[in-house]
Amino acid sequence: MAKLIYFMPSSLDGYIAGDGNFDWSPPSEEVFSFMTELIRPMGTYLYGRKEYETMAVWATPEVLPGLTPPMQDFARIWQAAEKIVYSQTWQSISAPNTRLERIFDPALVREWKAQAPLDLSIAGPTLAAQAIEAGLVDEYQLFIMPALLGGGIPVLSAKVRRKLELLDERRFANGTIYLHYRSPD
C-alpha cells in the first residue's frame, strides 16, 4: 500500500504564509536538490487550490528567472506526476496530468492509497488537516526554513493529538532543517 506524505516548508514559528507571499521560503540549491530527490518516487500530488496555484509555475518553468538544472529536473518530475486539485470554486482545470475534485473524500483517498504503485503527497495545510484528522497521513516531511513570519496560515492545523516517530533529520548550510516523521498508528 502506498503512503500519504505531508510535504511542506514551514517558517520556524510554524507558518507557511504570512500575507500570501512565499518569497521568504526559496530553498538553497542544496535544499532544492534534496527536495527533488524526496519527491522523485511520489506518483500523485494532492493539492488544495491555493497550493496548486503556487506550484503551477512548474508547468512552465522557463518563465522562472535563474532557472537551474536542479529546477529543470524538479519541473520534469512535477509535470509527469498526477495532480489532484481540490476546489469548490473552480469549474474545470485543463492542465496535463491534473484533475479536479470538489470535496475531500477520505474513503476515496484510502482507495487511492491501496491501489497506487507509488506514494502520494499532500500539500496545503487546510487539505492536509482534513487528511490528518481522517487518519490518512502516514508520514510528515517538513522543511523548517530560517525565517519568522509572526502569523499567517499554520503548517499544522489539524485538531488531533498524535505521537510521531522521528525517521530522519538533516541540517543544511543555509539554516534549513528537514524533519521526517511517521505516524506509528
Domain ranges of the chain: 4-182
Statement: residue 19 has pLDDT above 80? no
Between the CA of residue 5 and those of 22, 24, 128, 131, 147, what are the distances in Å?
A: 21, 23, 9, 10, 24
More confident residue, 184 or 164: 164
**35, 74, 77: which is closest to 174 by C-alpha?**
35
Q: What are phi and psi of 162, to 5 degrees?
A: -155, 130
Please report how the helices 106-115 and 125-133 are oriented relative to each other, as an axis angle in degrees rounded to 10.
90
- In terms of Cβ atoms closer than 10 Å to its own Cβ (0-12, 13-18, 19+), residue 138 is buried
For the entire predicted model, the pTM comes to: 0.93
Q: Which CATH number fits domain 4-182: 3.40.430.10, 2.60.40.1190, 3.40.50.300, 1.10.3720.10?
A: 3.40.430.10
**141, 129, 123: which is closest to 181 by C-alpha?**
141
Task: Read off the pLDDT of residues 23-77 as tens digits, 9 standing for 90 and up.
Answer: 777 889 999 999 999 999 999 999 999 889 989 999 999 988 888 888 999 999 9
Measure the CA–CA gap between 94 and 121, rounded to whole angstroms. Answer: 21
Average pLDDT for residues 86-93, to the nearest whole number?
93
Question: Residues 136, 161: contact at Cβ < 8 Å?
Answer: no
- pLDDT above 90 as % of the chain: 75
User: Per-residue confidence at 157, pLDDT binned at 50, 70, 90?
Assistant: confident
Q: What pLDDT is stored for residue 20 in this prediction?
A: 60
Q: Checking phi first, is residue 94 left (phi over 0); if not, alpha (psi -120 to 50) or beta?
A: alpha
Rg of the chain, C-alpha, whole Å: 16
